[in-house]
Structure formats: C-alpha cells, structure tokens
Amino acid sequence: MDKVCVVGLGYVGLPTASLLASKGFKVHGVDVNWQVVQTINRGEIHIHEPDLDVLVKSAVNSGNLTASLEPAPADVFILAVPTPFTDGHVPNISYVEAATRAIASYLEPGNLVILESTSPVGTTEKISVWLQELRPDLDPNSIYIAHCPERVLPGQILKEIITNDRIVGGINPASTAKAEAFYQQFVTGEIVPTQARTAELSKLAENAFRDVNIAFANELSLICERLNIDVWELRELANRHPRVNILKPGPGVGGHCIAVDPWFIVDSAPEQAQLIRTARQVNDSKPHAVVSQVKAAAADVNQAVIACLGLAYKADIDDLRESPSVAIVRELARESVGHILVVEPHISALPASLDSLGSVQLVALDVALDKADILLLLVDHQAFKQVDRQKLQGKTVIDTRGIWR
C-alpha cells in the first residue's frame, strides 16, 4: 500500500488523510500550525465535521496517521493548502508554492504529486516548473504531477470523498494515468481523466455556475423589496414552471469556494468573464443591503438591541470563512447601529474580527430572543428553525433565509 504525505490538515486535508489511513495507507500529515499537529497526534480534531473525531482517533491509534511540521518521504504527495485571493481579487498561490518547496527535497523518481487545492488555471503546470528549478537532479518525466480538485460538501465530507466522481488532470498522459490509479484504490465514484488545465477550470466553473444562479436569486430579492413583493412567494410561484428552478436568496455568499473561485476565472480572462464578474459583485453587495434593512428598522427604536442569528457561511457547520454574516455583524457594529447580540451554536468564542470591536456579544439563543428588539436571521441552522414562533411576537424580524414565514 502506498505511503502518502498530505500537506495541509484543514477542512479537506485532515478528512482526506484520516480516510486514507483508515483504508490502510501509511499517512504522514503536515501542517504549519504546531497546535494542529499536536492535536491530531493526540487523536483529536481542530475542526468540526460529523464523525471526523472518531475517524482521526482510530487512524492515529492504528499507527497509520501521524502529523508533523515537516514532510516525509512518500509515494504520493497531496497538496491541500489554502488558495485565497489578495486585494483586487488577485489569486494568491503562495501556499501552493510553499508546499511545493517543502516537499521538493523528499521527492524520488516515480513519486506522484497531486494538487487538490482549488486553483487558478495553470497552477499545476507551475508546480512542475518549480520542481524542475528546485530539483534539477531529477528527470522531469520521473515525477508525476496532477490536479484532482476536491468537490466535497461540509457536513458530508467523509462520505463525498469516497462517493463523488473525481476529475483527474495530469500535466501529461502518464501523470493522469498515475493519479487515476491512485484514486481508484479508495473512490467508488467515477474517475474522469482529462488534462490539468481543464480539471482546474472545471472546478472553478462548477462554483461560478452556482454563484451566478445565487446572484439571480439575490438580485430578485432586492427587486422584490423595492416593489414591496414577498420574494419567497414569488419564488414558489415561478418555480412551478417545469423548467425554472430559482435558488433561495440569502444575505450573501460565503465559504472557501463559491465566494472565491469565480474571481480566479475573472483574473484569468477578465474581458470574457463579464457575467461571472457581475454575479460576484451582486453577491458581494448583498450584505450591505441587509445592513441597510437593519438600519432602517433600528431608526424607529431607541437604543435598539439587535440579535444576529448565525455566523457560519451555511447551515449547521462552524466554518466562518468568507461568511457574509460576519461581514454584516462587523458593519453593524462599526456603524453603531445598536447593541449587537450574536447567536452561533457551533462556536464557543467570537472570531477575532468581531471580538476586537468590543460592542458584539456572543449569547445563547434564549437570551437573544428575550432581549432583542430586532431579530436578524442570517443562517438557517436547525436550532433556529425550531424556534417557537410566539417568541417572535412584538419584535421586528428580518429573515434573510425565509425559514420563519
């Protein structure tokens, strides 16, 4: 069975590493955060994902999973590091480059390097170029390099790593075949071969498609507000058409994929990606529209208490990355719209960006329902769906998810 080195032990890397270890692979995990390394080596987890705690504990206890700050020799190297963007929405692939440099000295002929991080088109080819510069002693044809983008849904990661179809694109046919054979050892979904650049754009296109459709729903909600129409009723009626499926609007778009990946396409083809750019702008503007709604409601209340329900970027997870809810709370606090109470059942402390403001308080749901003048529903967590509607009486309710209709 192959030895695998997984670089980056976050929301994708750790589930991947622990799953491979459970399948009998010898897995060496790498992370730059010493606390993360220590936590995993104790058989514990630093992120929330159903059943991940049990899997990591089992993998560590079996001896098949270890974690370290440094890579180790392996047959397969998987890079699962962040790919954010900088100011101006320019892709930042410095983490990919750093991971490539970290593994370079450990590479041997016959090794397979897989980039799972969602990346701008051409990134996998850059890994090849970097490795040739770092290891001129190696025949470039002796190292196999491929891109296999992750396509998992938080909350179902452990299942979808196995069952989802996987797109595998190598820098050459031999790399594609090598990566295809690796994933066939543990993936039950179909392994679909292509070239690296197509694999990269495929993942970006998937998320851009969703972003564009969400933007339509969000723009429609703004139109409905302007025309004094219930967007939820309108959506139900329009979706009765057999070929119409309008998505649900919300307070914006968050997460590490949909809110980020379309900008990679815009950066690569700025003149052609007009619709994709506009969709991003629509979704990025939605939090400001929600803030305006709250300000209008608070103008009629003396020293308003505003309860913001939910900080995660989607329901029933603890992931706050690129969350529009966090942006909304931050803007409300900075503009001193009122006293801000936050309810997020999946975290135990406010993120630093909100805690540093001093005017935002994390409270239990029952406290927020009791004290708030304005209830701002931002995330459709299950706990919020179960709220007794009688407790909403006498309060101004702004429901951006349509769960309290």
pLDDT in tens, 165-218: 999 999 999 999 999 999 999 999 999 999 999 999 999 999 999 999 999 999
* Percent with pLDDT over 70 in the chain: 100
148 among known catalytic residues: no
Give tens-digit pLDDT for 55-69. 999 999 999 999 999
Catalytic residue among 26, 178, 203, 286: 203
Residue 358, pLDDT score: 85
CA distance 21 to 81: 19
Residue 110, pLDDT score: 97
Q: Is the pLDDT of residue 404 over 70?
A: yes
Give tens-digit pLDDT for 308-345. 999 999 999 888 989 999 999 999 999 999 999 999 99
Q: Is the pLDDT of residue 138 over 80?
A: yes
Residue 153, pLDDT score: 84
User: Which residues lie across from 77 on neighbouring strands?
Assistant: 5, 113
Give the E-state strand segments of 171-283 in sequence order.
191-195
CA distance 236 to 404: 15
Query: Average of pLDDT values for 265-270?
Result: 96
Select from 279, 103, 105 the least CA-distant residue to 115.
Answer: 103
Residue 161, pLDDT score: 95
CA distance 176 to 227: 53
Residue 167: enclosing H or E segment and its boundaries?
strand 166-170
203 among known catalytic residues: yes
Tokens for 309, please give them.
Answer: 């329900």
CA distance 220 to 89: 25
Select from 280, 235, 229 the least CA-distant residue to 85.
Answer: 280
Task: Grade residue 255 by pLDDT with cuts at 50, 70 and 90.
Answer: confident
pTM of the predicted structure, to 2 decimals: 0.92
Inter-axis angle of helices 261-268 and 274-298, to 10 degrees?
Answer: 140
Residue 278: CB partners within 8 Å, gap ≥ 6? 215
Query: Average of pLDDT values for 24-36?
Result: 97
Query: Average of pLDDT values for 11-37?
Result: 97
Query: Average of pLDDT values for 295-299?
Result: 95
CB atoms within 10 A of CB 132: 13
Task: Grade residue 254 by pLDDT with cuts at 50, 70 and 90.
Answer: very high
CA distance 352 to 278: 31
Cα Rg of the chain, angstroms: 23
Tokens for 355, please give them.
Answer: 């805690």
Task: Grade residue 1 by pLDDT with cuts at 50, 70 and 90.
Answer: low
Burial class (CB in 10 A: 0-12, 13-18, 19+), 318: middle
Domains of the chain by start residue, with CATH:
3-189 (3.40.50.720), 205-399 (3.40.50.720)
Catalytic residue among 5, 148, 257, 308: 257
